[in-house]
Amino acid sequence: MSAKITRDMTFHQILQLDSRVAGVLGEFNLGCVGCMGAMNETLEQGAMAHGLDVEDILTALNGLFTE
């Protein structure tokens, strides 16, 4: 599968792509699986809310699909 995760995707969309996504988000202390905002909040919004660099998260997430 060749997925490309972008900053404007919601956490819900991202979590649907691959079961390993939740683990990567957990590495950034993003507990998105049970979060009510996951349906509507974008990756960029969540990163900003948690003081994280969205580019770091994107690199880690998209790395799942280049292995």
CATH superfamily name and code, 11-63 = SP0561-like (1.10.3910.10)
Mind giving me the DSSP string for 3-62? ----TTSBHHHHHHH-TTHHHHHHHTT--GGG-GGGGT-BHHHHHHHTT--HHHHHHHHH
Q: At 3, which amino acid appears?
A: A
Q: For 9-65, how does the pLDDT look when each residue is reduced to its tens digit (9 = 90+)? A: 999 899 999 999 999 999 998 876 666 667 789 999 999 989 999 999 999 999 998
Q: How would you classify residue 51: left for phi > 0, otherwise alpha for psi between -120 and 50, otherwise beta?
A: left
Give pTM, 2 decimals: 0.86
Which pLDDT value is given to residue 1? 47
Q: For 30-39, how does the pLDDT look when each residue is reduced to its tens digit (9 = 90+)? A: 876 666 667 7
User: Cβ–Cβ contacts within 10 Å for residue 43, how many?
Assistant: 24
What does the domain layout of the chain look like in residue ranges?
Answer: 11-63
